A = this chain, B = another copy of it.
C-alpha cells in the first residue's frame, strides 16, 4: 500500500499544496508524487502547524537549509530565540529547529510554531532529559513512556519533523565508546540514550518500540529525522564501524517507515575530512535507499572554532554535489557558545552558499540562472541587477556604502577591467 494511501494527513497536505510546490520547485507534479512514494522526497508539513507553508526535501527539489536555534542553560532568553528565528527566515533558511534545553520548553515551542510559517523541527528527547537535568537528576533514570508521551504531545502541537535516534543500538554505542574513537559520542541525544542503555542494561526503546513512533508520526504527518547519534565528532572518527552500524540501521528503519506510511529523512555527519565526504554521502545514500539526507556540515576540519560555518560550507558544497538534500547550518559559534543573531545569519548564508555551489555543479536550472544573471549584470555594471541575483541583496548596498552611486566599485575605481575594454580603445575610458 502506498505511503499516500496510508498517510491521509500527508495526502491532504499534498493535495492542497501540490500545484504551488510544483511551480515553486520547477518540477512536474508527478515527479513530486513519485519522489514521495519512493521515499526519496519528503513533504514537511504537520496539519496542526498553523499557517504553515509545507516544504519538499529531496533532490531534485531545491536543496534546503535548516537553522538550529533554542535556549541553553547558560543562555536562556526565549525572546532572543524568537528574534533569531526571524533572522534565520530573513536570511533565507527553509526550516528551523527548536533545540531549546532551558526554560519552559512547551511555551517556547508554542511561540516558535506560531512565529514560523516554515516547517519547525525538534528533538523530543531534550524535553524529557531537561526535566531530569534541571532537578540535578540523571536522565538515564527516565521512563521510556515519558519519551513516547512527549513525542505524541509535540506531534499534536504541530511540530513538522522530529529527530529520533532510533538507529542507535547497544552494540553501536559500545563500539563508539570502547576506546577506538578520539571523541566517543558527541550527539547530545546519542549520549543520553547511550547512558540510559548502559545504566538500564536494555536496548534503545526508540528502536524496540519504533512501531509506536510510526503510529504517532503517520497520524500527524510528522516526518521522522532519523538521528545519527553516533556521527563522528572528529575527522579521525569518521567512517568507523560504529558510524556505519547506525547508518545501516537507519536504512532499515527508513524502509520500514515508508512501508508503514511514514516519511523519513536520514541525519548525517558531522566531522568528515574533505577527501572522505563524497564516499560518506554515496555510502549513506545507498544504505538508506536514497532517503533525503540531512547533514550537519560536513565539517571538514576540527581546528576552526569561530569559523566552523566556513569549514562546514566546504563539506556541505561537496556533499550537495554527491547527493545531500538538506543542509543543517553551522554558525561561527559552533563548539564555543550559543549563536547570536549575527551568527544565525552568517550560518544560514554559509549554508546557502554551499547549496548554491553544489547545485551549480549539478547543473540545477535555478542555480545556473542566478549565476548567469549575476555575471550579465557585472558585465553591464548594473548594480541593481547584481542585487537581484545576489544571495544576500542587502549586503550589496551595505558594503558599497558611500560609494553606492559610483559606476565602478571602490576596489578598482578607474582601474575597472570591465570599463577598460567596454569602450573603443581610441575613445575615452
- Interfacial residues, chain A to chain B (CB-CB below 8 A): 72-75, 101-102, 126, 129, 133, 138, 140, 177, 182-188, 190-192, 194-195, 198-199, 233-237, 273-275, 300-307, 309-311, 313-314, 317-318, 321, 332-339, 349-350, 353-354, 356-358, 360-362, 370-372, 374-376, 378-379, 386, 389-392, 395-396, 398-401, 403, 406, 408-418, 420-421, 425-426, 428-429
A390 x B304 contact (CB < 8 A): yes
A177 x B72 contact (CB < 8 A): no
* A277 vs chain B, min Cβ distance (A): 9
A353 x B304 contact (CB < 8 A): yes
A183 x B360 contact (CB < 8 A): no
* A396 vs chain B, min Cβ distance (A): 6
Question: What separation, in Å, do the CA atoms of A360 and B299 have in the docked complex?
Answer: 12
A425 x B195 contact (CB < 8 A): yes
Contacts A/B (CB < 8 Å), 22 sampled: A72-B415, A182-B372, A182-B375, A183-B378, A185-B421, A188-B412, A233-B375, A234-B374, A235-B375, A274-B321, A301-B360, A303-B374, A305-B392, A306-B390, A306-B398, A307-B392, A307-B395, A310-B350, A333-B411, A336-B396, A336-B411, A339-B411
Pick from B235, B350, B371, B411: contact of A371, CB under 8 Å: B235
* Number of this chain's copies in the complex: 2
Instruction: Point out the residues of chain B lying under 8 angstroms from A73, CB to CB.
Output: 413-415
Name the CB-closest residue of B to A184: B421
B357 x A395 contact (CB < 8 A): no
B426 x A199 contact (CB < 8 A): yes
Instruction: Point out the residues of chain B lying under 8 angstroms from A338, CB to CB.
Output: 410-411
Q: Given A350-B310, A396-B306, do A301 and B413 touch, yes or no (CB 8 Å)?
A: no
Q: Given A350-B310, A353-B311, A414-B73, do A195 and B336 touch, yes or no (CB 8 Å)?
A: no
Q: Given A236-B375, A399-B306, do A357 and B274 touch, yes or no (CB 8 Å)?
A: yes
Q: Given A420-B195, A425-B195, do A390 and B317 touch, yes or no (CB 8 Å)?
A: no
Q: Given A353-B310, A410-B337, do A187 and B376 touch, yes or no (CB 8 Å)?
A: no
Instruction: Point out the residues of chain B lying under 8 angstroms from A192, CB to CB.
Output: 420
Instruction: Point out the residues of chain B lying under 8 angstroms from A350, CB to CB.
Output: 307, 310
Question: What separation, in Å, do the CA atoms of A401 and B333 have in the docked complex?
Answer: 11
Pick from B195, B301, B371, B386: contact of A305, CB under 8 Å: B386
Question: What separation, in Å, do the CA atoms of A102 and B403 have in the docked complex?
Answer: 16
* A289 vs chain B, min Cβ distance (A): 25
A274 x B182 contact (CB < 8 A): no
